[in-house]
Structure 1
Amino acid sequence: MTAIGTVLALLGTGLMVVAAVGLLRLPDAYNKVNAVAKAAVSGVMCVLLGTLLLLPGLDTAAVLLVGVALQVLTSPFGTYAIGRASYRSGAPLTEATHRDDLAAGPRDGPRGTAP
């Protein structure tokens, strides 16, 4: 079990490194938010599950499983809020973006401002 726990912890650490590289290298705020949300959540879950395998016990399991559940439940909302705030503040889209689905929404004016 310790080998699997170590592999999971290292895999999670690697995923968080990929998220950090994406944060530095991707062209706009929306791509950065997406990369960090996907890789960091997966990375945190792998590290926590690896820790559970390395330190087995009922107390450890309860704390770490609550941590995984909170990460899975809160990350999508936080990611949405950051992306929406970026859009509403006028963060520029990369030139590779061909569509802006929020530009003329029913409740929003251009670039997400209220009518």
Structure 2
Amino acid sequence: MIEILVSVLLLVGAAFMVLAAIGVLRLPDLPTRMHATTKAGALGAMMTMGGVAFYFGDSTVAARAVAIVIFILLTAPIAAHVIGRAGYFTGTKLWAGTIKDELQERYDPETHKLSSGLEELEPEMPTHTEKGTSNQ
């Protein structure tokens, strides 16, 4: 019974990794490629680690597999965010079918800074107050 579970986990993991590879080859721009590799690749690696943990049936191997899965869960989204941000800031072109670029109006290419968009909503605070006056 364990052999069937291990086989299913390994095959599903391999299928997700193949989907991630196909996504890298077929998708049109960096953000969509990054999305495919982050989601499908991470899920494929986690399924493979599950298969490894069940195959060996040892608590130390299972603990290492769980640690690897936790590491992938923590690092894959962060790595994808950093790669996507670096790609955007270096001027990687978006796909022609991209409907909206939400960072375009918030990104200053001169300073490489993003504005939060909340600056317009916050009331201006006085920079200094004179002695003897109150704001009431």
- Flag structure 2 segments of 5+ consecutive residues without an equivalent: 115-136
Question: What secondary structure is seen at the aligned counterpart in 1 of 2:34?
Answer: helix
Contact 1:23 1:35 survives alignment (8 Å): yes
Structure with larger RCO (C-alpha < 8 A, sep 6+): 1
Report the AA paired with residue 96 of structure 2: E
- Flag structure 1 segments of 5+ consecutive residues without an equivalent: none
Contact 2:89 2:109 survives alignment (8 Å): no
Report the AA paired with residue 50 of structure 2: L
TM-score normalised by L of structure 1: 0.92
Distance 1:60 1:51, change over 3 A: same
User: Which structure would you say has the larger Rg?
Assistant: 2
Listed as ranges, the matches of 1:104-115 within 5 Å are 104-105=105-106, 108-109=107-108, 113-114=112-113
Q: Tell me the matched-pair count.
A: 113
Report the AA paired with residue 62 of structure 1: A
Partner in structure 2 of residue 52 of structure 1: 53
Q: How many percent of aligned residue pairs carry the same amino acid?
A: 33
> Which stretches of structure 1, 4 residues or longer, exceed 3 Å deviation after superposition?
110-115
Partner in structure 1 of residue 92 of structure 2: 91
Supply the RMSD in Å over aligned alpha carbons: 1.7
Name the CA distance, whole Å, in 2 between partners of 1:79 and 1:11. 22
Kindly state the Cα deviation for residue 110 of structure 1 after the two structures are TM-superposed.
Answer: 5.2
TM-score normalised by L of structure 2: 0.78
Report the AA paired with residue 98 of structure 2: T
Kindly state the Cα deviation for residue 114 of structure 1 after the two structures are TM-superposed.
Answer: 4.0
Q: As a proportion of its length, which structure holds more helix?
A: 1
Listed as ranges, the matches of 1:1-115 within 5 Å are 1-105=2-106, 108-109=107-108, 113-114=112-113
